[in-house]
Amino acid sequence: MGRKYTRESYLELFHKIKKAIPNAAFTTDIIVGFPNETDEQFEDTLSLVRECRFDGAYTFIYSPRAGTPAARMKDNIPIEVKKERLQRLNQLIDQLAAESNAKYQDQVVEVLVEGESRKNPDVLSGHTRTNKVVNFRGPKSLIGELVNVKITDAKMWSLDGEWLKQAEAARK
């Protein structure tokens, strides 16, 4: 894909950041089925995902984009192979995301309240410093504020919690 770095240099930087900032969260974008991608290369991708334990990933099946060098390459990976690889990758990403979120169970986290939840206007939603989505009940006046929330339910892709009103009142 024309990357200007190697797996080794990527991992060296990854581990350097993790050492300096142990709670750093990492996400990534991954394309499966790039022209000429071998089974071994795909397995290497899975092993990198396992080693880095990404908090999340945007995953895609390769498709040609006009004007890119890859668009001139023969798209020689059968769609069935692409779909199977994407499914395997997504299963791993889902597992790792659930494990990452489980660490937040019963923890108090600081949340930047961004607005109402997409699914329920009576619930507020925001993000932690590590970009975890947190949903909780509270007054709309909290929108735009940093608040403390105790996580009561760690889901695969989001966290549910309880706003700690007393802690907020003491800060003001």
Show the domains of the chain with their CATH numbers. Answer: 7-102 (3.30.750.200), 108-171 (2.40.50.140)
pLDDT interval class at 42 (50, 70, 90): very high
pLDDT tens digits for 103-120?
A: 999 999 999 999 999 999
DSSP string computed for 52-66: HT-SEEEEEE----T
- What average pLDDT does the structure give for the chain? 93
Question: Which of 146, 163, 171, 158 shows the shortest CA–CA distance to 104?
Answer: 158
pLDDT tens digits for 49-106?
A: 999 999 999 999 999 999 988 889 999 999 999 999 999 999 999 999 999 999 999 9
pTM score? 0.85
Residue 97: exposed, middle, or buried by beta-carbon count in 10 A (0-12, 13-18, 19+)?
A: buried
pLDDT interval class at 169 (50, 70, 90): low
